[in-house]
Amino acid sequence: MEKTLVIIKPDGVKRHLVGKIIQRFEEKGLVITALKMETLTLSLLEEHYNHLVTRPFFSELVDYMTSGPVVILILTGENAIEIVRKMVGTTNPLQAEIGSIRGQYGLSHTENVIHASDSTAAAQAEIQRFFK
């Protein structure tokens, strides 16, 4: 069984999409093995988005990600990472497939509702980061 990390971002929480998003994962056969709600800190986001710190949009991203609570969950299942990534869709909702979570609910490149680990290594590091 494979594990992956998902974050339902502040816009998803504010827009009351948490239940709908979680339901989609459960209907796909994925199992929630951990779940929590919290407001992220600057230090945690600097660690999580370390690869983006020098990008011009980093401060906007941090402001957005600290603007309200997020829901963080670990999903487990066969090929969980690949399945979740396909369900989530590409980062830009305008380019995401219709029917994907971002394609259906995303509003912009920044307010795209959800984060999902993109590889086994990322999933392991992100699970450790958010569920110490």
Spatial distance between the Cα atoms of 38 and 72, rounded to a whole number of angstroms: 8
Distance CA 79, CA 97 (A): 20
Q: Which residues are annotated as a binding site for ATP?
A: 9, 57, 85, 91, 102, 112
Q: Is 115 a catalytic residue?
A: yes
Residues with Cβ within 8 Å of 34's Cβ and at least 6 positions away in sequence, in order, are 72, 73, 74, 131
The catalytically annotated residue of 48, 51, 109, 115 is: 115
- Annotated binding-site residue numbers: 9, 57, 85, 91, 102, 112
Q: Which residues, including other chains, have CB under 8 Å from residue 25's CB and lie 6 or more apart?
A: 6, 32, 75, 84, 87
Please list the active-site residues: 115
